[in-house]
Amino acid sequence: MTTPDSTLPKAELHLHIEGTLEPELILALAARNGITLPHPTLAELREQYEFTDLQSFLNLYYANMAVLVTEADFADMTRAYLGRARDAGVRHAEITFDPQAHLARGVQLTTSLAGIASALADSEAEFGVSTELIAAFLRDESEESALAVLEELIAMDAPIIGIGLDSAEVGNPPSKFVRLFDRARNAGLRLVAHAGEEGPPSYVWDTLELLGAERIDHGIRCLDDTALVARLAAEGTPLTVCPLSNVRLRAVDTLAGHPLPQMLAAGLNVSVNSDDPAYFGGYVDGNFASLAAEFDFSADVLATLAQNSIRSSFATDARKAELLAELGHWRSAQG
Ligand code: ADE
Ligand code: ZN
């Protein structure tokens, strides 16, 4: 369907590729790999998609990864996302993957990486979506484990633009990963991290000051700290917000109570993203559509959110200019 939300040219900056595994694809890959799942039918699997918090989601997210075994599995998952992203108006995607989650299941780094990278290599030609890849580290694992994987990625000259930090936030503060981020910075990698999804404002402060992250994934809890909001606004730090995720993981009670309008009003550099769209009831166009309906956003507000996403991306200046020009045409066409 062509809606303003799907024609709006945008970048998606916060997207876990493993979170795009739709239930149908999970069952198809399980059959292909001879894997028996604990919830073997579509109906039984779908019943699991009720979450009470981040951890309740992570339990299912990691369990469902069992179906990702071969390079082809990773490539098929990635291609399915890119096709759906193209339909959502995504023109540039920065895709995160969780190498440690696959290594823990006995899937080699080369397998996950090569499968995802092969789909990304064809993405501009096949879907018109430029891409970058981010390797995220699991904050509920040790820093030593993360450092070992990072060294492997550096040694193999992996096609990643940067690193991220995800998984269970509360109890796993940024201070655990100072050496990891130092090493990545010294290797010339870009730095992003989840912070302030469920965790307190102090985790956002430490993500900025101790880790030197350039972009904060989520960051919604920053509103509990006026000094932090002032700092984020003054520096224009990008916050990659995921409204439907926040509702489904109960970081906020309802979409009507989502802080995104307040964040915009505070002058924060906010973008809209889907996080794990197969789990949270919408891709990035669905996130835009839900926000637009809930808050009656004008075309100007939608364009500002899309502009923030493009400017906050790690795309080349030439690609950013191309996408900003496309966005200008979109805005003119809205009248
Ligand atoms: N891994 C996948 N999705 C995540 C999220 N929303 N927060 C933290 N870790 C994640
Ligand atoms: Zn996330």
Q: Ligand 2: distance of its center to the CA of 72 in Å?
A: 24
Closest-lying ligand 1 atom to the alpha carbon of residue 16: 2
CB contact set of 284 (below 8 Å; sequence gap of 6+): 10, 12, 85, 88, 89, 90, 272, 273, 274, 277
Q: Is the pLDDT at 2 greater than 90, yes or no?
A: no
* Protein residues placing their CB within 5 Å of the ion ligand 2: 275
Give the integer Cα–Cα distance in Å for 169 and 172.
5
Identify whether 5 is part of a domain. Answer: no
Out of 12, 49, 51, 54, give the residue to mutate to test ligand 1, the one with the largest number of ligand atoms within 8 Å of its CB. 54
Q: In 10 A of CB 297, how many CB atoms? A: 20
- Return the C-alpha torsion angle 80, 82, 88, 94, nearest 10: 130
Q: Ligand 1: distance of its center to the CA of 257 in Å?
A: 21
CB contact set of 108 (below 8 Å; sequence gap of 6+): 102
Out of 53, 137, 165, 276, give the residue to mutate to test ligand 1, the one with the largest number of ligand atoms within 8 Å of its CB. 276
> What's the domain count of the chain?
1
Residue 36 — left, alpha, or beta (φ > 0 → left; ψ -120 to 50 → alpha)?
beta
CATH of the domain at 48: 3.20.20.140
Identify whether 1 is part of a domain. Answer: no
Give the integer Cα–Cα distance in Å for 252 and 228.
20
Kindly state the percentage of the chain with pLDDT values over 90.
Answer: 98
Catalytic residue among 71, 132, 197, 198: 197
CA nearest to 129, candidates 164, 77, 87, 163? 87
pLDDT at 1: 46
For the question of residue 126 being annotated catalytic, the response is: no
- Quick check: 232 and 179 in contact, CB under 8 A? no
Give the integer Cα–Cα distance in Å for 316 and 198.
32
pLDDT at 5: 82
DSSP annotation string for 241-254: E-HHHHHHTTSSS-
Q: Is the pLDDT at 92 greater than 50, yes or no?
A: yes
Closest-lying ligand 1 atom to the alpha carbon of residue 197: 7
Closest-lying ligand 1 atom to the alpha carbon of residue 18: 2
**Residue-number span of the structural domain to which 108 is assigned:** 10-333
Q: Write down the mean pLDDT value for the chain.
A: 97
Q: What sign does the CA torsion over 21, 24, 25, 26 have?
A: positive
pLDDT at 189: 99
Give the integer Cα–Cα distance in Å for 194 and 242.
11
Q: Is the pLDDT at 209 greater than 70, yes or no?
A: yes
Give the integer Cα–Cα distance in Å for 130 and 278.
21
Residue of the nearest CA to atom 9 in ligand 1?
A: 167
pLDDT at 253: 98
Q: How many CA atoms lie within 13 A of 330 on its CB side?
A: 23
- Quick check: 294 and 252 in contact, CB under 8 A? no
Identify whether 140 is part of a domain. Answer: yes
Q: How many CA atoms lie within 13 A of 197 on its CB side?
A: 31
Helices H, strands E: what count in the chain?
A: 18, 8
- How far is CA 314 from each of CA 82, 93, 129, 149, rounded to the nearest angstrom? 18, 10, 14, 22
Q: Which stretch of DSSP H or E encloses residue 13?
A: strand 10-16
Q: Is the pLDDT at 296 greater than 80, yes or no?
A: yes
What pTM does this model have? 0.98
Q: Give the pLDDT band (50/70/90) at residue 4.
A: confident
- How far is CA 92 from each of CA 76, 96, 281, rounded to the nearest angstrom? 19, 13, 21
Identify whether 2 is part of a domain. Answer: no
Where b means 16+ CB within 10 Å and e means fewer, 30-57 reads beeeeeebebeeeeebeebeebeebeeb
Q: Ligand 1: distance of its center to the CA of 136 in Å?
A: 10
Residue of the nearest CA to atom 4 in ligand 1?
A: 167
Give the integer Cα–Cα distance in Å for 18 and 29.
13
In tens, the pLDDT along 224-257 reads 999 999 999 999 999 999 999 999 999 999 999 9
CB contact set of 238 (below 8 Å; sequence gap of 6+): 13, 214, 215, 216, 269, 271, 308, 312
Residue 194 — left, alpha, or beta (φ > 0 → left; ψ -120 to 50 → alpha)?
beta
For the CA of 58, the nearest ligand:
1
Closest-lying ligand 1 atom to the alpha carbon of residue 169: 8
pLDDT at 50: 98
Tokens of 98: 């969780």
Region 165-180: what's the mean pLDDT? 98
pLDDT at 145: 98
Pocket of ligand 1 (CB under 6 A): 16, 19, 54, 61, 166-167, 194, 197, 245, 275-276
pLDDT at 127: 98
